[in-house]
Structure 1
Amino acid sequence: MVEKTALLGVVSVALGMVLSPGPNMMYLVSRSIGQGRRAGIISLGGVAAGFLVYLLGANLGLALLFAAVPQMLTAIRIAGALYLFWLAWKTVKPGGISVFAVQDVPHDSPRRLFGMGLMTNLLNPKIAILYVSIIPQFIDLEKGDVLLQGIILGGFQILVAVSVNLSIVLAAGTVAGFLERRPSWLRIQRITMGSLLGVLAVMLAFGGSGSPAQL
């Protein structure tokens, strides 16, 4: 149903995006450093719930849209490439602030932590564009059920995002101290992630008008 190249493409994009600074990472790191790992894990549960909302909502609508207007895939491919280029520049541009900077945050209840994680993800433009403009371009209309393909690809994105974010939550305190003493390492991380996003953007932009799974 879903080509391995499409899965690898989604995993690559998901990895590049989850490792680039954004609202989700900033929130999870601030909670983990300021309130402890347990708070970070509860917050991550809210973020994961937000992914599921996007997964179901986007795919139910997109399945009908692409079946009626297949040409939309080309427009989505271009929009996704432009967004990745913008994200790459934002990651490597001078003057960026480390998401691992230690900040004071108020201690909140588990319910509030989960709710804030959920809302942070639902209001995250990175995730909205990911599900509307990037993941759909890996769907191949000739491979059958569009809805099922979207759910499978989105499921892999969620697996990557939750796994990486959990690692970040567990290691946030250690990483914050390490980078605070070695600012040059932070610059290397930003350049590496920005370069990866740039390469993915080029692949997406010049992948042709055929199946996204061929990228």
Structure 2
Amino acid sequence: MISLQFLLTAIVVVLAPGTGVVYTLATALGQGRQASVWAALGCTVGIVPHLLAAVLGLAAVLHTSALLFQMVKFAGVAYLLWLAWQALKSGGALSIDADRAPVPRFAVARRGALINILNPKLSIFFLALLPPFLSGNAATATAEMVLLGAIFMAFTFVIFVGYGIFAATARDAILSSERAMRWLNRSFAAIFAALGLRLALERA
């Protein structure tokens, strides 16, 4: 069940730059190492509803219900566009600014959680990813899916924290350059906007 193939697949999927990675990097550069850990925690917690949906079969319902899928999807699109604005806006929640006030840890984690919660493709992803690695025993299928999902979440947290710590090491140099901060704020805004557009084009 917990095969080398599953572990490698999970690591590769988590390492691939996505919305959660971008959010963690932006948080690390804008608010430091400790905040990036909370961002990683939030992104990890945001996986839980999708894992439960896959285990309970609700992901299949989401996949077959066009209305429900569209509702969650466009809520996610709106949220990503809001994050883009917060990166671009002076003093915004994601802007990189040497004079910004610290952001409460819970707020950092909450934003990370919402990024994943409002991504309907994640439930369908778990529904496709986990079953091939199950033992085939119907009596233990639920427990096996929960275990595999928990391993995936652990990888997510550890790897995202790694991304955050790496980015935080460059924070002092970036905060000393107005040009670098301006460039990064625009870049993160463009990335979040592009991710929102990509999500808008997704189909169930």
Distance 1:175 1:145, change over 3 A: farther
- Alignment match, 1:110: 105
- Alignment match, 2:125: 130
Deviations 1:69-117 (A, max 9, x none): xxxxxxxxxxxxxxxxxxxxxxxxxxxxxxxxxx737753222211101
Runs of 4+ in 1 over 4 A off after TM superposition: none
TM-superposed CA distance for 1:165, in Å, is: 1.0
Equivalent residues of 2:14, 2:156 under 8 A apart: yes
- Alignment match, 1:57: 53
- Alignment match, 2:7: 11
- Alignment match, 1:35: 31
Deviations 1:17-64 (A, max 9, x none): 1111100000001001111111111122211211222222321227xx
Q: Helix, strand or coil for the counterpart of 1:141?
A: coil
Equivalent residues of 1:10, 1:156 under 8 A apart: no
Q: How many residues align?
A: 136
**Is 1:145–2:137 an aligned residue pair?**
no
- Alignment match, 2:197: none
Equivalent residues of 2:46, 2:117 under 8 A apart: yes
Equivalent residues of 2:51, 2:123 under 8 A apart: no
- TM-score relative to the length of structure 1: 0.54
Percent identity over the alignment?
Answer: 24
Unaligned runs of 5+ in 1: 66-102, 181-215
TM-superposed CA distance for 1:137, in Å, is: 2.1
Unaligned runs of 5+ in 2: 61-94, 174-179, 181-204
Q: In the aligned structure 2, how far is the partner of 1:150 from the partner of 1:10?
A: 12
Root mean square deviation of aligned Cα: 2.8
TM-superposed CA distance for 1:135, in Å, is: 1.6
Distance 1:130 1:9, change over 3 A: farther
User: Which deviates further from its counterpart, 32-41 or 120-129?
Assistant: 120-129
